[in-house]
Amino acid sequence: MSIVRHIEKQYFEIENQYAINEFNARVNGFSIKEAYWKKKRELNTHAYFLFLFTRLEDHIKTQSTQLIQKKQTDISHWKTRAVWDNIEEPEKLHFKKKLALLTEKGNTDYNTIADYYKLRNTIAHGSTITNITTVVNMISVFTNIKKYFKELKGK
């Protein structure tokens, strides 16, 4: 099983259990507990989103580095190769530049990943994760990230 599927399985197991707890609190009229479990679900979603996105970041870093090294090796004409040779430390390129090597800048995939990246930064650099109001629909996120693992290739 791939790492994404592992994370997906684990996320939904926890999400489902928290959802049951939220439902039970509602049935019993415990509104504070109901809000507590709702908040736990949100925190869990943000934590898993961050975890999942780091896997994608790593994939993009690996694939873009491979692409750059391949171009530096395979292109024989110096003039065509020069632009690739100028990238001395591929792993230090900005994330969006690495991404733009694997998918066209401005297309749907690029924009979606850029949106995820923005959200990842909000979560990663936020001093108080509880204040994050962004809604993350993990069903779409898992579907998209599985697709990106398949399609974003450097070779």
Partner 1 sequence: MGAKERIVFNSQKSSVILDYTSKPFFEIIRINCSIADKNWAPRLFDAQLLVKITGSNENDKLKSSIEDIISIGAQISPYHKQPVFDINRLFSFSNKPSESNDRSYSNWTLELTLLNLNFENNDNLTIEYMDTNYIQRRVEDWDKRIKDLFQTIKSWLDNERRFSLKVSKEQKMLEELMITFGVSEKKIETADICYDNKIILSIKPYGLWIIGGNGRIDLLSSKGNNILVDTAEIFCKPEWKLFFVNQTNKALPFNSETLFRLINP
| Interface residues toward partner 1, by CB under 8 A | 8, 12, 15-17, 19-20, 22-24, 26-27, 31, 106, 112, 115, 133-137, 139-144
Q: CB-based contacts of 10: which residues, under 8 Å, 6+ apart? A: 48
Q: Is the CB of 16 or the CB of 130 nearer to partner 1?
A: 16
Spatial neighbors of 98 by CB under 8 A, at least 6 apart, are: 60, 61, 64, 65, 90
Least CB distance to partner 1 at residue 68 (A)? 25
Name the residue with tokens 């001395």.
88
| Closer residue to partner 1 in complex, CB, 31/121 | 31
Please state the closest distance from residue 70 (CB atom) to partner 1, in A.
Answer: 28
Radius of gyration of the chain (CA): 20
* Nearest by Cα to 138 from 37, 31, 53, 30: 53
Closest contact distance (angstroms) between CB of 154 and partner 1 is 25
Q: How far is the CB of 12 from partner 1 (least distance, A)?
A: 5
